[in-house]
Amino acid sequence: MNIRMKNKFYAYIQNLQNQICAGLETVDGQTKFREDLWDRPEGGGGRTRVIENGAVFEKGGVNISAVHGKLPEAMQKMFNVGEADFFACGLSLVLHPKNPMVPTVHANWRYFEMYDDNGNVIQQWFGGGQDLTPYYLFEEDAVHFHQTCKTACDKHNPEFYPKYKKQCDAYFWNAHRNEARGIGGLFFDYCKATEGPSDSEQAKQMSMENWFNFVSEVGNSFLEAYVPIVERRKNLNYTPEQRTWQEIRRGRYVEFNLVHDKGTLFGLKTNGRIESILMSLPPHVQWVYDHHPEAGSEEEKLLKLLEKPKNWIAD
């Protein structure tokens, strides 16, 4: 490669942040993202962009960061290594729409390097994914989101979509509630050179350049996966009771992020920027004691769906 992978991927996510924010501002039509630039004392920093109180998006953020320095103790334990230098960069986004007929969405694409005492790269990998959390189920929306994910995956390996869809269903599982956070999408991590989801010859041929091409393919598909759903649902009428249901379900989203999400917990334990970490939390949430939706209702239909992951794309 002419440039190091970390520079290539950081340039990519800077551009992707611009593209996604511009696309979302067009969809909202009323408000713009606010930008904060921040520095990490230990090394690096980021560019946080937040949208609030728009016509469509009640709150959302599209953040990028690139941090480096000594590997924090929590990460040393996670990777079972001693002291080392590292570099990590990524884009993370969460969007909480105002209308309960429009689903919440989350996405993340990241890259990590670790070095020896001479500055040589000794470990490097990609990770990321995108997932959808509806409050009311429209099956055509679920199929569209998953089909877009599958199309991006299939350009690189037909094994990727079923593998990473399954990993997404397993990761975004609220174990203490025994239910899924949403209807899933893709989740992949520790994507390294020569490694793939199986022993197939195609998987074995994945170089870091191949992984970059795959991750950027998924990142570039985000607006295509989400914006058509928003456009279909953003002007639908809804009742105060449906808004209350949305806020109750948002509570489950908060629970997952604070109890189970590895990225949130890592940020909280490693002196991350708290405003950027908690950007993912919605502004209006309810916890109603022992709440159960009416039998046979659309709300109950969603809960039953979340009891077991579903295959949205026919084999």
pLDDT, tens digit, for every residue of 156-167? 999 999 999 999
Q: Which helix (H) or strand (E) holds 109?
A: strand 104-115
Q: Region of 168 please: left (phi>0), alpha (psi -120 to 50) or beta.
A: alpha
More confident residue, 271 or 232: 232
- Residue 263: the pLDDT is 81
68 is catalytic: no
- Give me the chain's average pLDDT, please: 92
Catalytic residue among 96, 106, 144, 156: 106
pTM of the model: 0.94
Tokens 């921040």, residue located = 38
Band (pLDDT 50/70/90 cuts) for residue 3 is low
CA 41 vs CA 68, 85, 152, 233: distances in Å = 10, 15, 37, 43
Please name the amino acid found at residue 136. Answer: Y
- Residue 185: the pLDDT is 98
Tokens of 63: 């953040």
- In whole angstroms, what is the distance from residue 233 CA to residue 231 CA? 6
What percent helix, strand, coil does the chain show, rounded to 5? 40, 25, 35
Say which CATH architecture domain 5-305 belongs to: 3-Layer(aba) Sandwich (3.40)
Q: Is residue 219 predicted with pLDDT exceeding 80?
A: yes
- In whole angstroms, what is the distance from residue 298 CA to residue 295 CA? 9
